[in-house]
Amino acid sequence: MNAPLVCSLEMPDLRRTQMRRNIWCEGCGLGNMQQSISVALMRQLGRRLGVNFMEPAGLETIKNKVAMVSGIGCTSRMAGHLDFNTVHTTHGRSLAFASGLKMARPDLTVVLAAGDGDIFAIGGNHFIHAARRNLDMTLIVYDNRSYGMTGAQHSPTSTMGEVGASAPYGVFEPPFSLVDLAIGAGAGFVAQGAITTLQEHQDQLDELIAAGLEHKGFSFINVIGQCHTGWGTRNKRAEAFRYRQYIQQQVIPVDRWRELPAEARAGLRPLGIIHRVARPDLQSTPGYADCVSRSKKAVEAAAEEVEAIAPLPVVVDLRPARTCLRFAGSGGQGVITAGEIALSAAVRAGKNGVFTKNYGPEARGGEAYSDVTVSDGEIHYPQSDQLDVLVALNQETFDKFRKDVSATGRILVNATAVRETYGDARVLASPIGELLAREVRPPKRELGINILALALALDYLGLMSREAVEAAVMKGVGKKNPGLNQKALATGWAEAERLKTL
């Protein structure tokens, strides 16, 4: 018989009919914990949903509204036993699964049952973030200070000096204080219960879990429990009753515990609600509501950017003529933006185009470049080692990409920064940096150099109209600083005129 040592016999059984035999060892406190969770859920949800759990219809409503999520280990098998919407996930990850579920379905009551190894070792990262994030979920941990299912290895809560299968000479690592960890990570409700030989502790556990369920936000109930067949066998408490007595000797009501001087607390574990602060759960915060309404506006704004058209069938030219441009410079010069704007201008001019970018991990300052290929038909390969135009804003990119320019291509160099051009006949030198400083006079050095160079290059090529280029600039970066960008465009165009006459 696997029935818990004590239980409230008058309550309905929430176990699945096929799972009336628990998988746990006889006498394990997990049965008690399962019973407490069942009782607390029925009472608490019955009240919240306004249904009577003693009636089949009421019980059905409660079961449908509960999602129990668990990880791996003895405790996590509880999800299989109970007749809710249940998910037995991967080791340590139950809180992450549950977080997604709760975000997507705030209407469900999300409860987690887990062991100490599952939550505090492999799942430790998820625990601290779940506590911080404060979704409205309740986590109940069976803390037997060991791994039961794999055979009594030590866990992050094991007592130093005790012996386990993977600590044959004694545990030499210090344990976590789970309660302190939870509070430190931001949990709004932290309680501790215990499985002992006393009915009052079982009743207290029912109430602690019910209070956790009632708490809006992340609630954590740590349950001090035994593993008599595993850890107990190795540490002189191999019988369930003996192990429970051992736990009983350590626990003390939290009120009395608080009154004790710090040195007298050693070896004692407080029972009751240890920490409770009211704060809105994640999905009820004003900040979250604000994000929702701002996102709605962004969605509407994005829809306006899209053009509704009545498309007509087209004959697609598979090998059209194409023009490949590269804007290259240092990371801060906006060459990626220049490429994006050139693509946008090409599309506005009714052409096909592809934009690709290249940037190193050192993009914040190192060299960067973007390629734009423009065509009236299909563009397959989006880049080219046969560039038609290279715009090189600095010496490094001139040196590096010079050889990628086709024999008939042109290299537009910023003569302000590029001193050496090896007498290359393809080079068109323009003092872009000086022009910017003199004509555009940007508040920050080099601001607008990309727009000036872009206007110059596109106009020199005659690839698309000035209207298309201007519209693309003004829709993009120009929104922020229209005056400066207008000046940069005009300067670029004037310089293009000059170069064309050379």
DSSP sequence for 43-107: HHHHHHHT--TTSHHHHHHHHHHEEEEE-SSTGGGHHHHBSSEEEE-STT-HHHHHHHHHHH-TT
Tell me, rounded to whole angstroms, the distance of Cα 429 from its chain centroid: 48
Site for ligand SF4 in 200-229 (CB under 6 A): 227-229
Beta carbons of 188 and 130 less than 8 angstroms apart: no
Residue 204, token pair as written in the block: 């207290």
Q: Which does 101 bind (CB under 5 to 8 A by kind): other proteins, ligand SF4, none?
A: other proteins
Number of Cβ within a 10 Å radius of residue 141: 26
Residues 365-394 that bind other proteins (CB under 8 A): 378, 380-383, 385
Q: Which is nearer to ligand SF4, 28 or 101 (CB)?
A: 28
Which of 76, 89, 144, 333 touches ligand SF4 (CB under 6 A)?
A: 144
The span from the CA of 242 to the CA of 455, in Å, is: 85
Give me the 433-472 binding string for ligand SF4, x by CB under 6 A, dash otherwise: ----------------------------------------
Query: Considering CB distances under 5 to 8 angstroms, the limit depending on partner class, which of ligand SF4, other proteins, none binds residue 227?
Result: ligand SF4
Question: Which C-beta is closer to other proteins: that of 128 or that of 167?
Answer: 128
Residues 75-114, mask of contacts with other proteins (x by CB under 8 A): ----xx--xxxxxxxx--x--xxxxxxxxxx-xx------
Is residue 147 a contact point for ligand SF4 (CB under 6 A)?
no
Q: What count of other Cβ atoms lies within 10 Å of the Cβ of residue 156?
A: 18
Strands 405-414 and 387-392: parallel
In angstroms, give the least distance from the CB of 246 to other proteins. Answer: 31
CA-CA distance, 45 to 110, in Å (whole number)? 12
Return the sign of the alpha-carbon dihedral for residues 83, 84, 87, 91. negative
Count other C-beta atoms under 10 Å from residue 105's C-beta: 11
d(CA 416, CA 160): 70
Among residue numbers 6 through 35, which ones bind other proteins (CB under 8 A)? 16, 18-19
- Taking CB under 8 A as the criterion, which residues in 31-70 touch other proteins? 60, 63-65, 67, 69
Query: How far apart are CB 314 and other proteins at their closest, in Å?
Result: 8
Among the listed residues 4, 24, 220, 436, the single contact to ligand SF4 using CB under 6 A? 24
Total residues interacting with other proteins, rule: CB under 8 A: 83
Smallest gap from residue 253 Cβ to ligand SF4 (A)? 26
* Contact status: 134 vs ligand SF4 (CB under 6 A): no
How many angstroms separate the CA atoms of 329 and 357, rounded? 12
As given in the structure block, the two tokens for residue 140 are: 């109940």
Q: Which does 168 bind (CB under 5 to 8 A by kind): other proteins, ligand SF4, none?
A: none
Is the alpha carbon torsion for 247, 248, 249, 250 positive or negative?
positive
Which of other proteins, ligand SF4, none has residue 302 at its interface (CB below 5 to 8 Å by kind)? other proteins
Interacting residues with ligand SF4 (CB under 6 A): 24-25, 28, 30, 74, 144, 148-149, 227-230
